[in-house]
Structure 1
């Protein structure tokens, strides 16, 4: 019997090429490499949602923008029913075999509970459920003119504690209920692979807010390979709770650069509504510049403050285009640009010494820089040619 990983890799290989319509859409959205293209996270709190400087991707656009310069996406909460009227009780009365439960066989596996309640969790291994989601939400969104469908909270780990369903009055256990379960991983990859195929056939793209699981690197790569647009919530900085460091930073860098010309979106949450301090900005921008591929987009915003345009100074240093790939030595990563240089020390405990390139330099905040640079753990620097 094939293993879940072999199934995942087979799914990825079979879906490596998109449709002609998808390729045409990609050609309409090239990245401008001499600046940092931005991403907007929702646009429902904006008076002019289409008037955004330097934005190439919108996660969860209120309406299709019908623009050849911006990839707009229709938001969908992954394995849940977007219709809030379709509660868990509604499903018990109308489609009792479609809703998933925890292993106590009573509690719906909501996963995410909001102030208003929760979306009903659906069994996406069920062909009837898949067709319902396709016909009710995905096809109509693409028909309206959205470029992409954005699926939220896509994880290989069983964060929702899904366990089983009730069919014809009998309990059918699908998963163990444990966080890491090969059966759950295989079903998630099969479902996302099916979505990708159906969306491509209709000329759209699939955007995944997909989480990295460092304990499942090969399966994580298989998942992210299914995304035309990989949306990385938490990016390199997540609301001051943590910065991505160590092997997780290195894995993220490898996954981004392996995407070549397929889109990557880095969402970075800062501590509060005030502008981030220089150290936080330098860490975010330097990490982005070192790891970016040919179609990368950056978002920096306060957590739970999406829907409006948020901008901060210094997020777009004029470094020009990269002159080559990033380089690694220990926990020090760096990259040369036409008019700049970016470096990151992604160690979580050890400082590193950086020898700056020859010439006169200033940092991204305008301060002159000379001699060796001491980078603290979890820090970055962006240099610009002083001339």
Structure 2
């Protein structure tokens, strides 16, 4: 689990060092000059790292307790689980390629009316959360696992996102109990080869994503720019939080346009759909900080970025929002543990790392809802199988 934390903590520290050395931000604000003092940047660094410390304590706490003696919900050796997951994944691929569902900037315009409600229900579940679950519980054929990983990667790229690769990597880190130091000592040649191959692989992935998003390709970037400005900035909210502090007046001036319930409504979209999200949210304010009216795209504001903006609106609202976040965290852990498989606590922690980075209430609530639904589905499967077995015995 430490390797997963290391990715984000390392990216945050490297972002901090990059800004201090160059005087420029990386990530979403690559090339923008910092106006913050070294002390301010150090405070931003601590605030960016603090959510990971909090999450680590959650991990240690839930790892040390047990929530009762319920029967195991997921039967890891059951082919039914594999078949079910494959069918769901094929469904996601079908609606993405055929109807454009899940593509950035597109709704369900081409979806027939009779199937639209079903798609809206299924889309409440993030397929990549389910993919991570499958990687962690699968004990069958490695060929099946390989197929699932490839299918997840295709689905992620088709939706113009690269986050799926991070989920896959972290899932295997947990499954294989990966340790960077042990790997370097055991396979030094492989490690050196990976260092040379990695930038080219990342550049290719970014170019595919940017073409799908109609954005500028990264082929012209140097290896240094690709790694430190694009990649490391992608895994850290440090430059985003620093920009919020730097442009504090901009957010204060926009407070009247910000609904008091913006955070809750943004989170409630996991259940009710994106139509309930207010037009003005911090993520959209941040992407348009230098002018413009981008609506379908946004920048993460970070865990403390969202709390800071809500505090500017009202300290009471900030407390409510913080309570909402911790409620989502608790739901994620409780129902992940109720799934009762070997990596249940690691599963919850792994998936919570990115919401703790972005601070998005929608990501927190989507994760909590997804894990709860996974529990309900697998619990239901076990009940049905148990009843079928009982009837067979009676007959």
User: What TM-score results when the alignment is normalised by the length of structure 1?
Assistant: 0.24
User: Higher relative contact order at CA 8 Å, sep ≥6: structure 1 or structure 2?
Assistant: 2
More helix by share: 2
More strand by share: 1
